[in-house]
Amino acid sequence: MKPCFVASAVSVLLLASWTPGDEPKSAAGGLVVTGRTQCILHRKAIIAPTVLHPVEEVLVAVGDRVKKGQPLVKIDADEPQAELRCKQSALESARLATAEAKRVLTKIDASFHQGAIPEQRFHDAKVAALKAELDERHAKATLEAATAELEHYTVTAPIDGVINRLEVHPGMVSRPGTTVWGEILDLSEIDIACQLTPEQADQLAIGQGAEVRNSDGNRLVGKGRVVFIGLAADEKTGKFPALVRVPNQQGGLRCGVAVQVRFVESKAARTK
């Protein structure tokens, strides 16, 4: 009887040392792996300077929800505004010159066909009218270019989302291409990045359902589907990347958080 007592004692010790999470990762309820939340790439955008001029006004703050195209930061635009006014004046002058050249051409054309003026004078008037039209087109194009340039002095939101970070203030001068003022995140959907062994990857399929729980596994935080399974293993870990996309309209999931993912259907079940 002693051997049986010893075996029972060992079983009690093993049960006492067991904690949730020690169960096999391919339990009857489905394959379970760990993952980390991350923003979907096209739902993340930076806020950055576009011209090397002082900041005039900051129109938003961290935590604000913004729409695509909404003005975020105004940059001092005195110089381009003055340039724009010059281009507008040039276009107005070109339009007047074109109107006058056409009026003269119309008058000379009638006289030319009556034989009252020489052909050379008619030719000169026609060239002058054509040149005036070309000058007007050029003035219009330069005005459009100046208008487009002025748009760079207002930094707008590239996407819908929430201002997650913002480090800019009036008077700041930042070099475009090397400075980032902040970022906008849209977490209405969020990805869970997982690393799978070859055996685990073979059990999954694109579109397969998944439950997402907190890192302890005791609270359901979302449901989603597999949107990507890597075709090549990481050279260092030998594991395959996979992404689970989860609707997150209420914002319950944040970026960079460790979670547990349970795939609720097997690949074999989906192919039946």
CATH number of domain containing 226: 2.40.30.170
- Judge if 88 and 142 occupy the same domain: yes
- Judge if 124 and 213 occupy the same domain: no
The per-residue pLDDT for 267 is 52
- Ramachandran region, residue 170 (left: φ > 0; alpha: ψ -120 to 50; beta: rest): beta
Residue numbers of the domain that contains 211: 22-39+187-271
Among residues 136, 164, 180, which one ends one of the domains?
180
Outline where DSSP puts E strands in the chain. 26-27, 30-38, 44-47, 55-58, 65-66, 71-75, 154-156, 161-166, 182-185, 189-196, 209-214, 220-229, 240-247, 258-263
Among residues 151, 172, 206, which one ends one of the domains?
151
Residue 44 lies in a domain: no
Instruction: Among 9-18, 60-69, 178-187, name the one with the lowest average pLDDT.
Output: 9-18
DSSP string for 14-35: HHHH--TT-S-TEETTEEEEEE
- Judge if 128 and 57 occupy the same domain: no
pLDDT per residue over 135-157, tens digit each?
A: 999 999 999 999 999 999 999 99
pLDDT per residue over 56-65, tens digit each?
A: 999 999 999 9
Backbone φ and ψ for 58, nearest 5 degrees, come out as -105, 120
pLDDT grade for 117, boundaries at 50, 70 and 90: confident
Residue 26 lies in a domain: yes
- Judge if 242 and 125 occupy the same domain: no
- Judge if 256 and 228 occupy the same domain: yes
- Give the mean model confidence (pLDDT) for residues 7-19: 34
**Percentage of the chain with pLDDT > 70?**
86
pLDDT per residue over 222-266, tens digit each?
A: 999 999 999 999 999 999 999 999 999 988 899 999 999 999 865
Q: How many CB atoms lie within 10 A of CB 241?
A: 17
Of 3 and 182, the structure prediction assigns the larger pLDDT to 182
- Judge if 146 and 165 occupy the same domain: no
CATH number of domain containing 58: 2.40.50.100
236, HSE (Cβ side, Cα atoms, 13 Å): 1
- Judge if 98 and 63 occupy the same domain: no
- Judge if 237 and 196 occupy the same domain: yes
Of 167 and 117, the structure prediction assigns the larger pLDDT to 167
- Judge if 101 and 146 occupy the same domain: yes
Q: How many domains does the chain have?
A: 3
Instruction: Among 104-108, 110-114, 206-210, name the one with the lowest average pLDDT.
Output: 110-114
Q: What is the DSSP letter of 7?
A: H
CATH number of domain containing 101: 1.10.287.470
- Judge if 72 and 176 occupy the same domain: yes
- Judge if 94 and 164 occupy the same domain: no
Residue 195 lies in a domain: yes
**pTM to 2 decimal places:** 0.73
3-state secondary structure 49-102: CCCCCCEEEECCCCCCEECCCCEEEEECCHHHHHHHHHHHHHHHHHHHHHHHHH
- Give the mean model confidence (pLDDT) for residues 53-81: 97
Residue 136 lies in a domain: yes
Among 156, 145, 176, which residue's Cα sits nearest to residue 83?
145
Give the chain's radius of gyration (CA, Å): 34
Instruction: Among 74-78, 193-197, 213-217, name the one with the lowest average pLDDT.
Output: 213-217
Rounded distance, CA 220 to CA 214, Å? 7
Residue 175 lies in a domain: yes
Residue 6 lies in a domain: no
Rounded distance, CA 161 to CA 40, Å? 12
Is the pLDDT reported for residue 220 higher than 50? Answer: yes
Q: And the tokens for 198?
A: 């070859």
**Percentage of the chain with pLDDT > 90?**
76
- Judge if 261 and 195 occupy the same domain: yes
Cβ–Cβ under 8 Å, residues 157 and 68: yes
Of 2 and 231, the structure prediction assigns the larger pLDDT to 231
